[in-house]
A = this chain, B = another copy of it.
Amino acid sequence: MSGAIDPAVIVAALRAEDATVAVAESLTGGLVVARLVQVPGASAVVRGGVVAYATDLKHSVLGVDGGLLAAGGAVQAQVAEQMATGVRRVLGSTYGLGTTGVAGPTEQDGQPVGRAFVAVAAPRGVRVQQLDLPGGREAVREACTVAVLQLLAAQLADAGRRD
């Protein structure tokens, strides 16, 4: 179910760093935060999340730039970045995750089904990754969930190496 990433490893790495995480989700619709809180003891590191499924909530709740959304729609790298930095600020966490993309069944904002962006905001900056995922709605959302958790795991591994 959890694909190529074990959320328990992420929760343990966050605890080791005395860090917390919050998640801003669009196409994954709660799957990312649900995956994290399934780990016993997650409450020590998971602050929570915002599912900003409607585009206007990305602006009103998470502070994503309204002009950016109006000009290019919800499926852009910068939107994922601003969702990640926004949820980190609004929920007061060390790390913020962001997911936006097209789960299907139809294209959205001129972007094809399977196109997604995932981002991780950290104290030292934000990383974003573009994904072009095969499969149907469930497969796209699952792969996107795994991808953003892998991006966080990579970020935590780097933070560990710096210590």
Q: Could you tell me which A residues sit within 8 Å of B by CB distance?
A: 23, 25, 28-34, 36-38, 40, 42-43, 46-54, 57, 61, 90-91, 104-105, 137-138, 141
Asked if B57 and A53 make an inter-chain contact with CB atoms under 8 angstroms apart, the answer reads: no
Asked if A49 and B30 make an inter-chain contact with CB atoms under 8 angstroms apart, the answer reads: yes
Asked if A37 and B30 make an inter-chain contact with CB atoms under 8 angstroms apart, the answer reads: yes
| Total copies of the chain | 2
- A31 contact set on B, CB distance < 8 A: 30, 34
- A28 contact set on B, CB distance < 8 A: 34
Asked if A105 and B32 make an inter-chain contact with CB atoms under 8 angstroms apart, the answer reads: no
Q: How far is the CA of A107 from the CA of B91 in the complex (A)?
A: 25
Asked if A50 and B47 make an inter-chain contact with CB atoms under 8 angstroms apart, the answer reads: no
